[in-house]
């Protein structure tokens, strides 16, 4: 597979981060809650309430 196909134009195996902004912790936790909801579960139920923060850690 070519370097460009891997998303790395430098070809050194390291991911490019130029122009990318790391999501905030709040945004990352919200994304995990969304995925839990899309999977058909309630992210606010006991047993899942702390999952978003665990995933982000």
Averaged over successive runs of 10 residues, the pLDDT of the chain (57 residues) comes to 54 74 96 98 97 97
pLDDT for position 17: 67
pLDDT for position 57: 94
Domain-by-domain residue ranges, the chain? 25-56
pLDDT for position 10: 62
The residue to which tokens 């912790």 are assigned: 25
pLDDT for position 13: 77
Alpha-carbon Rg for the chain in angstroms: 16
Is the CB of residue 13 less than 8 Å from the CB of residue 5? no
CA neighbor of 24 nearest in space, from 1, 49, 53:
53
Whole-model pTM: value is: 0.65
pLDDT for position 9: 59
């Amino acid at each position: 597979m070519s370097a460009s196909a891997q998303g790395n134009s430098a070809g050194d195996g390291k991911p490019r981060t130029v122009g990318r902004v790391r999501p905030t912790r709040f945004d990352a936790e919200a994304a995990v809650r969304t995925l839990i909801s899309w999977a058909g579960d309630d992210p606010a139920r006991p047993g899942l309430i702390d999952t978003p923060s665990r995933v982000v850690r």
